[in-house]
Structure 1
Amino acid sequence: MTTPCSTTTAPAPARFLLLGDSHAGCMGRAALQADLPFVGGPVGSGRDFLGPFLDLDGADGGDGDLVFRNAETRRLVREFLDALGVTGFAELGVPLVCTFGLSAHTVATRQNWDIHRDRHATVPEGFLRSGLFGDLVRASVRGALAFYERTAALGLRVLAPLPPQRVPGMSDPAVFFAAQDVIGAELAARGVEIVDLRARVTDGSGRQRPVFCEADDTIHGNLAFGRLVVAELLDRAL
């Protein structure tokens, strides 16, 4: 994963807040190249935003703002919000573009699913369509789901670009694609706009085409992929 960093454009008013894992990096670079003003960038690795990673700031837990548990993430997010001139997410006046919870390759780590393999060493298609599989995936990304539940409660417009369709050797491809569908459906149910470029960037196998892959890297998209994401964001009136 890339080192968490911030990317902020100025002085024009920001069009959106970008938060995410390393997959947000190519999107930020593409936005900078396009002179599209925004605030934000990667604030951690993908696995940091699967399990519980935030709390509500407020004694009753009902109307508090979002507080990230990791000190460095909290510092970066605070800098971004300050740059936007707001004290918290409740005051956010621009859309949030976010990749939290979409690291399906981590959820699909092969050893996590060995107990469910059949005699052919594959995870059965029937299991991948089962309620149990969905429950396991939802439990794996419960922290991200809690985040999006809160952004929905705050009335924020949130867009979530699906990550590059790349499955590293540590991950099971069938689980990757099935888990991604479960996660996407859960985000959509929470009002998140899914930015899905799969029809434009994948081959017949559903994998990312090399032209949209970062060289010498097994999971990330390149600048060309980031440009497609940014173009889609612009088409959605960001």
Structure 2
Amino acid sequence: MTTPCSTTTAPARFLLLGDSHAACIGQAARAAGLPFAGGPVGSGREFLGPFFDTDGTEIRFRASEGQRLYREFLDALDAGGLAGLPVPLVCTFGLSAHTVAVRQNWDVHRDRRGDFPESFLRSAYFSALVQAVIRGALAFYDHTAALGLRVVAVMPPQRVPDMSDARVFHAAQDVIRDEVAARGVEIVDLRARVTDRSGEQRPAFCLPNDTIHGNLAFGRLVVAELLDRGL
């Protein structure tokens, strides 16, 4: 899902950068005739640890394919870099909570019964661990804040694959949301609109035969939210 999905038949309204969760956003924007530039530039796990370098103003993705797509998207906007970006940035970097919640990575914190200690998932220690995991994404949002960009981040579909721990997923995404928002990023949070009573994403918003992604209907809700915000 790293295929570019830009549409630039009219002046772009935003730049979309993200992982595979950005795909349905781009598809929905394209279906609605909403001009934008961008799309996925890699998989979710690529944007947790350090994934870019910077000279203080411009960034360079460490992955060659990500860098190629990034430059292609900027060219579509006639932009030299993020500094002075003429449109808002819509982003999903670091918000793929299922990658943070991979079950085996948290086994060391369980007791002999396989449970987490009481209040562990609400603790400052847990928050610090999550922040360490997504330090690359947080560095990116620190950079966009320093440049004075308007950034809108989209929280992920509420889907927890078997490889991930649901309790960690839900606790981690709250930490991620708060840390990203603390960097001046606007958050699109559709949880109340797309989940059932258990907190899981309703089938109407799930990509069929897939355990992680949202579908076009989910993307349409995101695009509607972006339009409501003036993008």
- Partner Cα distance (2:118, 2:229) in 1: 35
Query: Aligned letter for 1:167?
Result: V
- Structure 2: runs of 5 or more not aligned: none
1:98 maps to 91
Superposition map of 1:126-141 within 5 A: 126-141=119-134
How far does the alpha carbon of each residue in 1:126-147 deviate from its partner, in whole angstroms, 9 at most, with x for none? 1111111111100000000000
1:56 maps to 54
Aligned pair count?
231
How far does the alpha carbon of each residue in 1:134-167 deviate from its partner, in whole angstroms, 9 at most, with x for none? 1110000000000000000000000011010000
How far does the alpha carbon of each residue in 1:26-82 deviate from its partner, in whole angstroms, 9 at most, with x for none? 01000000000000000100000000001113xxxxx33111111110010001101
Superposition map of 1:124-163 within 5 A: 124-163=117-156
**Which contiguous aligned blocks of 4+ residues in structure 1 show a shift greater than 6 angstroms?**
none
- Partner Cα distance (1:186, 1:10) in 2: 32
The match for 1:30 among 28, 31, 50 is: 28
Report the Cα offset of residue 93 of structure 1.
1.1
How far does the alpha carbon of each residue in 1:88-147 deviate from its partner, in whole angstroms, 9 at most, with x for none? 100201000000001110110000111111343122351111111111100000000000
- Partner Cα distance (2:181, 2:118) in 1: 23
The match for 2:19 among 13, 18, 21 is: 21
Report the Cα offset of residue 204 of structure 1.
0.7
- Partner Cα distance (2:6, 2:128) in 1: 37
- Partner Cα distance (1:124, 1:179) in 2: 16
- Structure 1: runs of 5 or more not aligned: 58-62
The match for 2:185 among 179, 182, 192 is: 192
CA contact (8 A) 1:15 1:36 kept: yes
| CA-atom RMSD in angstroms | 0.9
Identity %: 71
